[in-house]
Amino acid sequence: MDFSILFQGLFMSLNKKKDAIIIEDVTHTYKTETGLLPVIKNLTMSIPENGFTAVVGPSGCGKSTLTKLISGLLQPDEGEIFLNGEKIAAPRPTVGMAFQNPVLLEWRSILKNVMLPLEIVPNKLSLEDKKQRAKQLLSLVGLEGFEEKKPSELSGGMRQRASLCRALVHKPEVLILDEPFGALDAFTREDLWQVMHNLRKKEPFTGILITHDLRESIFLADEVVVLSGRPASKQFFVKVPKSKTPKLESLYTSKSIDMLKSLRKQIEIAQSQQEQNK
């Protein structure tokens, strides 16, 4: 027996990350006034524990529907979705979500907005521990000193930072980001990309990012999945090499430019397919 091969296989199995999210042959159709609208068809994909996957595709192809299925807000017509080995059969309070609109409560301070999930999701933290947890995250994203401000007193970028803290404060099993930076100006958006990398270092999470910004997808994610035109299935997949300290300048290297060209080409194919399926 070749023990070197045996030990190599054992080493690889021990170091292989388990999949936190598994989507198996999922199909979903909406019932509309004009008939059935197939949105997702036979979609299979997975996201490893502490991995970060960006999902891109033509507008209306089913990306947001996918987030609702993963969070348990919708149930697939066919197929199954598993989160950390457990089938998703109902909304999961341990899923964090951040959207394009931060939706902060104006009558609560920024600190109390961030603490909100800790008031909803069962936990054993004392009130003081909840405050410290929220303050810790606010400090990580550069909002130390703004804890007692109201949302209207903050800029759009600062409100989105607070929204990210709120989504992570209860240490969710998975963080879903649905176009979280889409409404921000280019400078603020790129600044928040750096904030996201810092958050991942200090607060590791399994994440899925829905975006139309291809630069954002390759800068933030470990891998990018391109969905086909509606009904969506997995059309294309690419791994994104990452450095320990990603810099915006990396988006202008020849490798990044080639990757962006490939993704744009795939989006064009998906858009053409969606037009044909109308």
Q: What domains does the chain contain, in order, with CATH numbers? A: 17-92+174-278 (3.40.50.300), 98-172 (no CATH)
Whether 252 has a pLDDT exceeding 70, the answer reads yes
Q: How far apart are CA 248 and CA 251, in angstroms?
A: 6
Q: Bigger pLDDT: 86 or 273? A: 86
Query: What mean pLDDT is reported for the chain?
Result: 88
Find the range with the poorest average confidence among 57-61, 79-83, 130-134, 143-147.
Answer: 57-61
Residue pLDDT, tens place only, 82-124: 999 999 988 888 889 888 888 899 999 999 999 999 998 888 8
Long-range contacts for 239-244 (Cβ within 8 Å, ≥24 apart)?
none
SS3 letters for the chain? CCHHHHHHHHHHHHHCCCEEEEEEEEEEEEEECCEEEEEEEEEEEEEECCCEEEEECCCCCCHHHHHHHHHCCCCCCEEEEEECCEECCCCCCCEEEEECCCCCCCCCCHHHHHHHHHHHCCCCCCHHHHHHHHHHHHHHCCCCCCCCCCHHHCCHHHHHHHHHHHHHCCCCCEEEEECCCCCCCHHHHHHHHHHHHHHHHHCCCCEEEECCCHHHHHHHCCEEEEECCCCECEEEEEECCCCCCCCHHHHHCHHHHHHHHHHHHHHHHHHHHHHHHC
Residue pLDDT, tens place only, 45-57: 999 999 999 999 9
Burial group, residue 208, by CB count within 10 angstroms (0-12, 13-18, 19+): buried
Q: What is the pTM of this model?
A: 0.87
Dig out the tokens for 193 from the structure.
């990309």
Name the residue among 20, 65, 85 with its Cα closest to residue 55. Answer: 65
pLDDT recorded at residue 76: 94
